[in-house]
């Protein structure tokens, strides 16, 4: 690791597990100071303590704008500024066109779309006076093609990708770059119910599920291995660093080529 993010103050939502935790660790290794946002206090505080002065934790429910605003304010109070926001928090959804209901719709849209909309809003109010920053939104190949996610999840991720482009156009003149990452089949607990489900299982049970999952995913991608959380963290480092200084309004697909594989409904 090096110093590609030296001194950059970063907020990472959903930062206590999976892609979020991997990105927190990678950003700190690259010299960033990171505010970890999540709902699992014990894991968040333990991770921050492990990483030392470069990290802090704030319990945040990203389905509410007030919590997001408070997160951004706490980051500035703790570290003095905000250079990077990674809107990473998310969860699986099991909706179908015939079975979707209002409660499920509201829950999915608040978490997957609202967290991005209000994350961008409150990051921008801090970044504009500073003269710039980088915002990264976690989209998905589910927003590009059929069969990569549920009905609402796919629609929400398509919205994230498009909102990224719109925000990048509006905020680019202020030195704020807005980009997205669209992961493919990345081996994380989202495949067996997300972090809440994983926390209800033993370490051995989670390890067994992960081993089975990585084996299956290795056969479902042109690049013959499962995607890993570190693959997405690598992409986030690039989009947060000065190396991507002329990259804006872009959705970076990180999926080993899976997006181009035939499936019976979309091929």
Q: Kindly tell me the sign of the dihedral angle through the C-alpha atoms of 137, 141, 144, 148.
A: negative
Among the options 153, 161, 179, 189, which is catalytic?
Answer: 153
Determine whether 153 is an active site residue: yes
Residue for token pair 């919205």: 159
Q: What angle in degrees, to the nearest 10, is found between the helix axes of 65-79 and 115-130? A: 30
As given in the structure block, the two tokens for residue 19 are: 């892609």
Dist CA 2 CA 208 (whole Å): 33
Dist CA 85 CA 221 (whole Å): 29
Dist CA 49 CA 235 (whole Å): 25
As given in the structure block, the two tokens for residue 129 are: 């006076």
Q: What angle in degrees, to the nearest 10, is found between the helix axes of 41-51 and 18-29? A: 20
Catalytic residue IDs: 153
């Amino acid at each position: 690791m090096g110093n590609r993010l030296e001194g950059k103050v970063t907020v990472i939502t959903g930062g206590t597990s999976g892609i979020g935790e991997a990105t927190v660790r990678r950003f700190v290794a690259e010299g960033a100071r990171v505010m970890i946002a999540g709902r699992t206090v014990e894991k968040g505080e333990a991770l921050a303590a492990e990483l030392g002065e470069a990290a802090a934790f704030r319990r945040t429910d990203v389905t509410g704008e007030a919590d997001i605003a408070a997160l951004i304010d706490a980051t500035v109070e703790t570290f003095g500024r905000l250079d990077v926001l990674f809107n990473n928090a998310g969860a699986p959804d099991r909706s179908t066109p015939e079975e979707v209901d209002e409660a499920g719709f509201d829950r999915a849209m608040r978490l997957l779309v609202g967290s991005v909309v209000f994350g961008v809003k409150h990051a921008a109010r801090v970044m504009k006076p500073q003269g710039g920053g980088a915002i990264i939104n976690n989209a998905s190949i589910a927003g590009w093609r059929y069969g990569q996610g549920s009905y609402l999840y796919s629609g929400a991720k398509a919205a994230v990708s498009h909102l990224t482009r719109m925000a990048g156009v509006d905020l680019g003149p202020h030195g704020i770059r807005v980009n997205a990452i669209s992961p493919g089949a990345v081996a994380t607990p989202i495949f067996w119910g997300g972090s809440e489900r994983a926390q209800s299982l033993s370490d051995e049970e989670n390890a067994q599920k992960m081993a089975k999952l990585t084996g299956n995913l290795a056969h479902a991608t042109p690049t013959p291995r499962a995607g890993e959380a570190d693959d997405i963290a690598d992409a986030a480092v690039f989009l947060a660093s000065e190396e991507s200084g002329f990259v804006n309004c872009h959705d970076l697909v990180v999926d080993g080529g899976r997006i181009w594989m035939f499936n019976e409904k979309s091929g």
